Structures are given as structure tokens and as C-alpha cells.
Amino acid sequence: MSPVIHHPIFEIKRRLDGSQVEFVCQACLVKPGSHAAVLYHIDRDWQFPQAGLTVPAGSISSGFFWEAKPFNLYHWMTPDGVTIGDYFNLAAETRITKSSIEWLDLVLDFCIVPGREGIWLDEDEMGADIDAGLHSQVEAAKTALGSKSAKLSRHLGRLSRSLLQN
């Protein structure tokens, strides 16, 4: 299966320390000001030791972003569409245009590997000196994601596979 390639779109991940990382993805569905779905071809192994997970080079990441939700989701799969895992980033200040998706990484992530319980990652990076406003944003995002994560993973996993087939 090979994905339908639409136009390139930049994903711009901003970090709390002011640094940023950019990825060139392929836009599959973009509704500026609302939501987006993109595909990204993974060119090197991604290691997530806390979750006991390696996403191998050659895998595909489908990313889902919403301006009105305090998180985004990456669904990782093999080129044949087999799920490797789901990775939720707690996020803020998400802005979606036709040419870019920009968001602020709130540090905490939630990872779901098939057949295992989901696990929160990077809690150790939150530090005691975290700004009170940011702390409340993170807690609100954790609550919003809450029990929805498994259902969202299943639904968006199906959508990800359909993006590969079209």
C-alpha cells in the first residue's frame, strides 16, 4: 500500500525552552483553523525506552492535530498498515493553516502499545519549578485525554490505514 500524497505541509513543534523542530509531512486532510491529518515517513529508528518501544525506520506516522483539543496524536504503523503504537502529545497553542501546523509541546506524552496498558512519559521532565499556569494547562489536558485515548486510538488507527489505501 502506498499513501496518497497531497501537498507538503510543515509541522512545527515548539518546546517550552523556546527551541523548535520542523518536519516536512504530506497533508492528507487540512481544515485551516480546525484540524489536520498528515503522513510522515520515518527515516530512522525512534526509541521510547520508557514504553519499551522502538518505531523502526521505514514506518509511517500519521499525525492528527486539532486547534480545539489540548493534545495531538501520532499513529505509528508499518508500511502494510499494522499498528506499532499510538503517541499522544499534550499540546497548546495549536495553529493550523494550509501550509503549516504549529503547536506548543507541553512535555507530557501518553503512549499506547498494542496489547499493553498506556503509559505516561516524561513526567520527570515537568520539574517542581513549573509555572502554575502551565501546570493547570497540563492537568486540564490530561483530564481531557483521560479515558478517550483508547477509543481515539482505535478510531484514528482505522482512519490511518484508510489514508494508506487511498
Query: Tell me: the pLDDT tens digits for 76-121?
Result: 999 988 999 999 999 999 999 999 999 999 988 989 898 888 888 8
154, part of any domain: yes
Q: Where are the alpha helices (DSSP H) in the chain?
A: 132-145, 148-165
Name the residue range of residue 144's domain: 8-165
Q: What is the pTM of this model?
A: 0.82
2, part of any domain: no
In the structure grid, which three cell numbers stand for residue 49, read together?
525506552
Q: What is the pLDDT of residue 163?
A: 63
Residue 1 — pLDDT band, cuts 50, 70, 90?
very low
CATH number at residue 52: 2.40.380
- Average pLDDT of 153-162? 64
Phi first, then psi, for residue 38 (nearest 5°) are: -135, 160
